[in-house]
Amino acid sequence: MANEVCLRNLDQDRPWLLKRYQAAGGYEVLSRILKENTPPDEIIEEVKASGLRGRGGAGFPTGLKWSFIARNAPGQKYVVCNSDEGEPGTFKDRDILRYNPHQLIEGMIIAGYAIGATVGYNYIRGEFWEPYRRFEDALEEARAAGFLGKNLLGSGFDFQLHSHLGAGAYICGEETALLESIEGKKGQPRYKPPFPAHFGLYGRPTIINNTESLASIPVILEKGGSWFKKLGVENSGGSKLFSISGHINNPGVFEIPLGTPFSELLEMAGGMKEGSKMKAVIPGGSSAPVIPGDQMMDLTMDYDAIAKAGSMLGSGAVIVMDDSTCMVKVLERMSYFYHEESCGQCTPCREGTGWLYRVVSRIENGKGRPEDLALLDDMTVKIAGRTICALGDAAAMPVQGMLKHYRDEFEYHIEHKRCMTGG
Amino acid sequence: MGFKNAPMTSAKPVEDKAKLFSSEICSEIDRWIGKFPEQWRQSAVMAALQVVQDDNGGYLTQELMDKVAAYLEMPPVSVYEVATFYSMYELKPVGRHKVCVCTNVSCMINGSDRIVEHMEKKLGIKLGETTGDGRYTLKEVECLGACGGAPMFQIGNKYYENLTTELVDSILEGLE
Ligand SMILES: Cc1cc2nc3c(=O)[nH]c(=O)nc-3n(C[C@H](O)[C@H](O)[C@H](O)COP(=O)(O)O)c2cc1C
Ligand code: SF4
Ligand code: FES
């Protein structure tokens, strides 16, 4: 079974239109909640029961996050959606925005109702013009139909929703950097605690969730938390969108139950390209340590299985590489990325990412020194866990993964001043 | 940062804001201001910079940034900080068509190097440069969230995916 939650409407003609969404039962859950005045705690309990874990990368339980908000405390609260989608390899939220924007809108309104927030923002990365236009059109439709604005469907509950556009910065995907960015500042992460649930947007209690997490909500509430949970496996409730790319025939976004064997996902994606043999897989976006292909073929796509193999499911971005791929070159490119995107606040990250890049780059370019690998090992330890946000860890983890599984390739590069793969 | 946060207000509010920009630009910026709490006009700074950049042929000048600061009642330095932090703002003139080519991992292993090399040769410029006639700028960018269509680039608001050198030729030739 595939496409049961966020992409359940993909088979329809122009599925992004309100009338299509409604014809398939869209906004019925919201209408029922508003009509019956469902107690917010019931909604949060249902989300907890679903086992939904944040789809933005960290996998934090969504229901638990919502329960941290003091709903009855006075003053404004906010719901923020993270559509910054910048983790290399990830391209799933773009499809939700393009093909199922109303389900995200409905999810955000319900989230607002559950935590007592009357305003929401969807932070869309600046390059996503087409998805942004789609989302804006959907907002217009939802406003005209009375799903947004004052006194929704006569319930007394108000909810207004706006989109915000980024302008090119991976770090704005980090939740507190994103909030700073909406506040009209450089996107530099804040110290935590305090967490956004206490001190979020404009200093007010805020929940921030990934696009896919929020778009899953209406279906979870329609079919029930236990239905959703049972789609997946222990500790990994539900289905999830996987963005799969690389040396495969049919790259794309596939929504499949968590716990599906990787081999099945690979098959859906058309298998390896003609004549190429799988070498390695990055299972959860470029921050996730690489896993050798043979090992990957025995794994299932869920949080625990991938963690046990020493990596992480992250955003569900799967990059498949064949045996022509030079791991040193791949790591050089990744290290360049983290160096480019470091916001510069913390010394270990600002200096360390540049240093990582320069060392990997000199190995790639035939100027590596025998002591370089020990140096890289040491640097990753000195960056990880010593920074304000997780970008430092994200830069260190791929280096550790590469050196664990492909150390011989790096040694070969240093010794022979060229690549083992001939690439 | 930390436990306090208040908007950064400028010392000398400008009286006649409507004179800073054309009425279309003012109303577009006002539409963005309307999305945020009243005292947080500065939340519109990113959108405002984008709007004035588009209107100015794709780049920002100090004069324009100062006007945005005045319009939003922000200190100019706060606007410069934003304009220099995000990669989509340009602080120098760019070509009529800014070709933003992704070279991150999925695109790289699917041949973005070949695409870059082809364009560099065809246009006679390197990444980061603009052609003498002001038509094209080549810019290297990070993952644009379209890796399923690797290799890819963005020109203006549009994504072009599954690029081949032939496709690149026809896309570039099809632009005005
Ligand atoms: C450097 C960095 C980049 C991130 N980028 C994204 C992103 O693009 N999209 C996203 O949803 N979460 C991203 N996150 C995770 C967010 O900080 C946050 O955990 C998430 O939006 C919470 O939503 P969720 O619980 O629904 O996953 C990023 C985190 C870090 C440290
Ligand atoms: S870890 Fe890096 S990106 Fe994160 S706050 Fe520190 S310097 Fe900025
Ligand atoms: S790597 Fe090029 S779009 Fe993601």
B115-124 tens-digit pLDDT:
999 999 999 9
Least confident of A11-25, A94-108, A264-278, B10-24: B10-24
Pocket flag, ligand 3, residue A88 (CB < 6 Å): yes
| Amino acid occupying residue B175 | L
Q: What is the pLDDT of residue A68?
A: 97
- Report CA B11 to chain centroid distance, whole Å: 28
**pLDDT reading at A238 higher than 90:** yes
Angle of the B62-72 helix axis to the B76-85 helix axis, nearest 10:
120
Q: What is the B25 CA–ligand 2 centroid distance (Å)?
A: 35
CA distance A126 to chain B (A): 8
Phi, psi of A319 (to 5 degrees): -110, 120
**B92: number of Cβ within 10 Å:** 9
Least confident of A172-181, A276-285, A295-304, B15-24: B15-24
* Interchain CB distance below 8 Å, B143 and A202: no
Q: Which of B105, B116, B152 to mutate to test the interface with A (most CBs of A within 10 A)?
A: B105
| pLDDT band at A369; cut points 50, 70, 90 | very high
- Identify any residues that bridge with A240 across adjacent strands, giving them in sequence order: A256
A280: closest CA among A302, A310, A315, A241? A310
| pLDDT band at B15; cut points 50, 70, 90 | confident
Q: What is the pLDDT of residue A1?
A: 67
* Interchain CB distance below 8 Å, A190 and B148: no
- Identify any residues that bridge with B98 across adjacent strands, giving them in sequence order: B137
**What number does the ligand 3 atom closest to the CA of B105 have?**
1
Tokens 């099945």 sit on residue: A264
Strand-strand pairing, A278-282 and A291-292: antiparallel
Cβ-contact A194, A152 below 8 angstroms: no
Average pLDDT over residues A358-382: 97
Strand-strand pairing, B153-155 and B97-102: antiparallel
- Give the number of A-B residue pairs with CB atoms closer than 8 Å: 155
| Amino acid occupying residue A82 | N
Q: What is the A386 CA–ligand 2 centroid distance (Å)?
A: 10
The ipTM estimated for the assembled molecules is: 0.96
CA distance A188 to chain B (A): 9
> How many Å apart are CA A350 and CA A4, to the nearest integer?
42
Q: What is the pLDDT of residue B3?
A: 54
**A21: number of Cβ within 10 Å:** 24
Give the percent of chain A with pLDDT over 90: 97
Q: What is the pLDDT of residue B11?
A: 64
Average pLDDT over residues A211-229: 98
Q: What is the B3 CA–ligand 3 centroid distance (Å)?
A: 37
| pLDDT band at A222; cut points 50, 70, 90 | very high
| pLDDT band at B1; cut points 50, 70, 90 | very low
* Interchain CB distance below 8 Å, A93 and B145: yes
- Identify any residues that bridge with A82 across adjacent strands, giving them in sequence order: A123, A210
CA atoms within 13 A on the CB side of A279: 18
- Identify any residues that bridge with A281 across adjacent strands, giving them in sequence order: A291, A320
Pocket flag, ligand 2, residue A345 (CB < 6 Å): yes
Pocket flag, ligand 3, residue B168 (CB < 6 Å): no
Q: What is the pLDDT of residue A280?
A: 98
> How many Å apart are CA B109 and CA B112, to the nearest integer?
7
Q: What is the pLDDT of residue B12?
A: 72
Q: What is the pLDDT of residue B2?
A: 45
- Please name the residues in contact with A213: beta carbons below 8 A apart, sequence gap of 6 or more: A52, A54, A55, A56, A62
Average pLDDT over residues A213-217: 98
DSSP letter for B125, please.
Answer: -
**What number does the ligand 2 atom closest to the CA of A350 have?**
7
Average pLDDT over residues A230-250: 97
| pLDDT band at A422; cut points 50, 70, 90 | low
| pLDDT band at B6; cut points 50, 70, 90 | confident
Average pLDDT over residues A206-218: 98
Handedness of CA A283, A289, A291, A292 (dihedral sign): positive
Least confident of A66-70, A332-336, B12-16: B12-16
| pLDDT band at B4; cut points 50, 70, 90 | low
